[in-house]
Amino acid sequence: MKILEDRIRRDGRVRDGGVLKVDGFLNHQMDIALFSDMGKEFYRIFGDRRVNKILTIEASGIGIACLTAQQFGCPVVFAKKTQTKNISGEVYTTSVRSFTHDRVYDIIVSKEFLTPADRVLIIDDFLANGCALMGLVRLVRDAGAQLVGAGIAVEKAFQPGGELIRGMGVEVASLARIKAMDPVRGVEFC
């Protein structure tokens, strides 16, 4: 998606350690017009799949998921990283390692909101090593729901996550695929 790639080139910053800093428009301050365009693109790709639920993970994927869900006319469910008093009853749970935070989270979704009747599209901001996405895939499969695909804003194609998830038979559509990045040379797209 050219407008996302252009925005990354213009406003993204590559940091040491394989970090792409896009917090000015993607995952801290959010550019809602850009998110709307991304949601339209995900609908163009997955619109014929009868999606009735969008699933994401707390917190950075929520904005993109919401604007995508507007296109599909369906609700968003986000996997929480902590158990709260608001979640009562049975839950699906799995552990995921965060690349950005370098820690393991137990993510949870109430069984009330993810059922075998659901046709789920996963939406997330980044795909690097694939841990978060793999955890979301496990939640969908544990629920007996139908996973129709995964929409990713930015994929670090030089890391193993995309290949790993696609190898599991999941259709992954990434709007910007990064082939290489370096603090000096910047970002190179596939």
∠ CA(123), CA(128), CA(130), 5° rounding?
65
| pLDDT score, position 103 | 83
∠ CA(113), CA(119), CA(124), 5° rounding?
75
pLDDT in tens for each of the 190 residues of the chain?
999 999 999 999 999 888 999 999 999 999 999 999 999 999 999 999 999 999 999 888 999 999 999 999 999 999 998 766 666 679 999 998 876 677 888 899 999 999 999 999 999 999 999 999 999 999 999 999 999 999 999 999 999 999 999 999 999 999 999 999 999 999 999 9
* Structure-token pair, residue 95: 């552990």
Q: Which helix (H) or strand (E) segment is 39 a member of?
A: helix 32-46
| pLDDT score, position 86 | 64
| pLDDT score, position 88 | 64
| pLDDT score, position 87 | 67
Sheet bearing 76-79, strands edge to edge: 76-79, 53-57, 119-127, 146-156, 172-182, 186-189
Say if CB 148 and CB 49 are below 8 A apart: yes
Say if CB 49 and CB 27 are below 8 A apart: no
- Strand-pair category, 186-189 with 53-57: unpaired
Exposed/middle/buried for residue 72 (C-beta within 10 Å: 0-12, 13-18, 19+): buried
| pLDDT score, position 42 | 98
Q: Rounded CA gap, 187 and 190, in Å?
A: 10
Predicted TM-score of the model (pTM): 0.94
Q: Which helix (H) or strand (E) segment is 42 a member of?
A: helix 32-46
Pick one of 3.30.930.10, 3.30.70.870, 3.40.50.970, 3.40.50.2020 as the CATH number of 2-189. Answer: 3.40.50.2020
| pLDDT score, position 99 | 66
